[in-house]
Amino acid sequence: MSFGNNLVKVRRDKGLTQDDLVKKSGVGISQIRRYEADKSSPTLDAIVRLVKALGVSIDELAFGKMTGVAVNRIIDRELLEQFEQISILDEEEKSAVKKILEGVIVKHQVERMMRPKAEKSWSQRFREITDRLAQGAQQYSQDDMDKIIDQCHWHTKNVPKTAKKSVPPPEF
């Protein structure tokens, strides 16, 4: 089937007149008439405007095939068929369906955001901390690091948690 025949078929399937398509796409009436009569080929810009206005893929408009994004991406065929049925509703009904869908989508997004995120495991947190410590300790020699570790160890064993003042550790 030619591009013109496909354009006529899709436009009629959507319940649109040529004037309706002009208003929705911004493509001039004389151009649409030429395209439908196969007397002219549309530019890429005109094709993009037409597919957006008609709610179809470029493949469907150009080749009459349902091989567009929706067909390839929507695995649930029943859902795809429902969307096709929605596309032939009048504007008021489409608007109502869109509002319902938007509400369901927003509800899902809010629920997903509110779910508690999985806590990192102890080993993941320990690895992150040791990596940060290692980055900060690059300027110290191994002897300096050993002394710091010994001092920390001594403090944890010998200084009560209630001590107000810092108790100096012995020299190591």
Q: Taking all residues of the chain, what is their mean pLDDT, rounded to a whole number?
A: 80
In Å, what is the CA distance from 92 to each residue of 49, 64, 88, 96, 97? 22, 27, 11, 6, 9
pLDDT exceeds cutoff 90 at 135 = no
Residues 80-95: pLDDT tens digits?
778 888 888 888 998 8
**More confident position, 121 or 45:** 45
Asked if residue 18 has pLDDT above 90, the reply is yes
Q: What pTM was computed for the model?
A: 0.41
Q: In angstroms, rounded to a whole number, what is the distance separating the alpha carbons of residues 171 and 159?
A: 15
Q: Which domains does the chain have, with CATH numbers?
A: 3-114 (1.10.260.40), 124-158 (no CATH)
**Residue 144 confidence (pLDDT):** 79
